[in-house]
Every structure is written in structure tokens, then in C-alpha cells.
Amino acid sequence: MYKKGLCWIRRDIRLYDHHALSAALKNCQEVYIAFVFDEHILKKLPEDDQRVTFIYDSLMEVESLLNEKGSSVIIAHGDPIKEIPRIFQEFNCDALFFNKDFEPYALKRDKEVKSKIPNAFDYLDHVLFEPDAILNGKNEVYKVFTPYKNKWLTYFSQQEKQVPNYQCPLKNIAQWKNKQSIKKFDWAREIGFSLTPSELKGGTSEAKKKLKNFEKKIPNYAKDRDYPIIEGTSNLSAYIRHGNISIRTMIKACSHQNSSGAQTWLSELIWREFYQMILFHFPHIEKKSFKPEYDNIKWRGEKKHLKAWKEGKTGFPLVDAAMRCLNQTGQMHNRLRMIVASFLCKTLLINWQEGEKYFALKLLDFDLAANNGGWQWSSSSGCDAQPYFRIFNPYSQSEKFDKNAEFIKKFCPELAGFSAKQIHAPHEADMLIQHEAKCLIGQDYPFPVVDYKKNRELALIMYQEVKS
């Protein structure tokens, strides 16, 4: 038993079912909680980044709960390698507790911190199984998802589907007065950010509300999840990313249901674990293709087309609506992520890494492993990726998944005058129809920046050059 423990929260901003916090509370007479605004991460972000607001909301909720117990979150700004040991000494702590993070930067950071603090303990929390737990018959890492998933499910069943719940009774949380609490001190200004209102408010209470609402929809998830205008998904990805809700809560929500929707959602959660495992074992994918030959692709795209893609001005309505949605809300439906990614790489012929970087800058739920995995899947450069010759047709995808153009009209209102039949390819409408729709193509909405059919053939050539 330690006298004073420090629990360092990072991508796990909550006070329930928290492995490290639970261990600290069990093993220490008093427990302090700390959060560091990491300068290495923040310096890459614009000053109005919505994720900072989301994190701020999350910390405010944790602070309120701790205040009820006479406690507070220790907040710091700087390099965690320096700040955590400083806080540890300042509060005369005997042991440090935190949850594992498998990203390359985090692994290096945590190793440095552990080298400076003798009693430092890390715990598995944001995935159910360790990266080395699910191996094939040769004790090797899986590089294909389906056999990994099957082994994961077998492993899960062998443990009788027991999902841990790490209790966090706050009886021995340290009581102290914090003059620089997040409620009293302007930490946003201190770290150089302005708080920007978002459609998603951070915090565990918001996450649990969304989960409760989604549990009613899980049976229909398998079919509804592909249609962006339908509220058929959980909208929980940002909360999972920032740890407002535990992955174990997610798994419990679907593992007790037998519907195809529940099975599909569990499969999505396993995809998340798969990508975390792949990043841990193959950290080179942060900067390079999983398949080395794809680093030799001679991308033929143009910078002006990348700019048009980012701004939602490509002349392909569903692509543009999706990108404008991302820019406005920090969110993007999974089906749309696949469509815009395929479009960037295989229609605009632009390196997938440009898209990955833009998503990293904009997504509220940005997670290195998932984002990298999704982009490498779409560009065919990753493990178990779609074949290079599978190229999403933006027109047919639009007609299939936004048939009545409700999503397109929401984010591209200038196209609202076109019928549901015309809107997917408005440049094909004659001038009379364009005048009636009060939207002249080339003036009120752009012509397609490229010829899809022509560029599809160029994409195949581009990939075949490195495959032969």
C-alpha cells in the first residue's frame, strides 16, 4: 500500500471503469488525478480546434465530480516527460498509475516517464486484449482481419464473455484546494486556444446518453449504418477516442444482443482493436505504406484538386457534402469516409497520406491507428486492404446511399433546386433545368474537377506500375 498515488489521465477522461484509477484507489491511501495539455500534440493544431473544446468539456465534468469529494484535477501544460515527474514530486507521491497507449509517440513518452519514476505502473484499458494476445497458430501477428476477428471471438468466448468492470470508489481521493483548477483558471488561454462550440459536448454523461439512445437502434445497425442521413450509428467515436466511455461498456452493450446489428457493431469494435494491434507491431505505417511497394506509386494528382477536395468543391456532390460536413462539424459518417478516401486516391490520384493528414487535423474522433488503417485500406496500401482495382464510383455511391439527396442538400444547399434524380450529376443537366434549379454549374457550383471514367483508367495504370 502506497501513501500517495498519482493517476495520470490522457485518452481516458472519465472516473468510472478506469483500470489505472481503479488500481490507484486500491493501492494508495490518497490518490491525486493529473492531466497534461501536451505541447507536442497541441502545437500541430489550429487555435480553434474543436477537439480542445471537447477535451475541456470532458475535464470540466471530471472536475465537477471531484469537487463533490473535495478534490480537483491537477492541470499542467508542457512536455509530460517533464510535467508528470514535477507533479509527482510536488505532491509527494509514491506511485504513478496510467493506462497504456500503443501509438509510437505515446510508447516513447511513457517509457521516458517510467524511467524517471521508480514506482510507475501501466494498465490495459482502451482495448480489451493486449496486442500480443490474439496470435495465429504459428504465434505470429494476424495481418488479415477476418481470422483475427474469429480468434478474438473465440478468445472472448473462452473467457465466458466476461468483461471486466474496474470499480472506482472515490472514498480515498485526495482532498485539496486547487487555485488553478480548470473551473477557476483560464487554461484555454494559457495553452493558446479559443474554445469553439461543437455539435458534440464532451463528457461521460453525454456519452452514456448517446449509448442509451443507440442501444434501441442496434438491431438495425447492420443496414442503417451505410446511410448518412439516417441516425443509424452510435455517434460515440469521439467519446471512445477521448475515453469518456470505456470500450468495455461498448462491448457489453452489444455482446448481450443476438441481432445482426449487434454482431456488426461488435465487428467494428474488433476492427478498432485490430488497427491498434497493427500499429503496435508495425509502427512504420505511421509514415509509410504497410505494403512497401505502394510507397513507389507515382501519384498523378494536382494540388488544386487537393484544395478542391478539402473545401468540398470538386463538383461531385456527395464527396463535397461529406467534406463540408467534416469542415463544419468535425465528424464524418464511415460510409462517407470510404467514399471520399477512394475518391482522393483513385479518382483525383492524390497520395493517401494527404487525406490522412487532413482527417487528422479535422476529425473530432481522430485516432492514429484507426485513421491510418482506414486510409491504407481505402488506398489498398494497408494490410487486408481492398484490392487496388476496387474503385468506388462516386455517382453510383451517391445514388445508392443518398438516394433522395437529403444529405447532399443539407451540406450543399446550392444544389437543393435539382431533383433527386439530377442532383447526383448536376453537370449533366441542361441549361433550362439549371436555371429552374437556380444553380448554374460552373458558376454557383463547380463542374467536376476531373473526368471520373478517364481517371479510373489512370488509377489502374498507376497501381499496376508498382504491382508488376
Number of helices and strands in the chain (H, E): 21, 5
**What distance in Å separates the CA atoms of residue 121 and residue 2, rounded to the nearest whole number?**
13
- Find where cell 474543436 sits: 50
HSE-CB of 291 using CA atoms within 13 angstroms: 20
**What distance in Å separates the CA atoms of residue 75 and residue 397, rounded to the nearest whole number?**
46
**What distance in Å separates the CA atoms of residue 268 and residue 262, rounded to the nearest whole number?**
10
| Cβ atoms 400, 236 nearer than 8 A | no
Which H or E run contains 309? helix 303-311
Strand partners, 77: 37
**What distance in Å separates the CA atoms of residue 329 and residue 306, rounded to the nearest whole number?**
20
For the beta carbon of residue 297, count every other beta carbon within 10 angstroms. Answer: 22
- Find where cell 474522433 sits: 365
In this structure, what is the dihedral angle of CA atoms 41, 46, 47, 48, given to the nearest 10 degrees?
Answer: -120
HSE-CB of 99 using CA atoms within 13 angstroms: 27
Give the residue from 228, 230, 186, 235 showing the smallest Cα distance to 214. 235
Query: What's the grid cell of residue 451?
Result: 473526368
Residues labelled catalytic: 268, 271, 299, 334, 352, 375
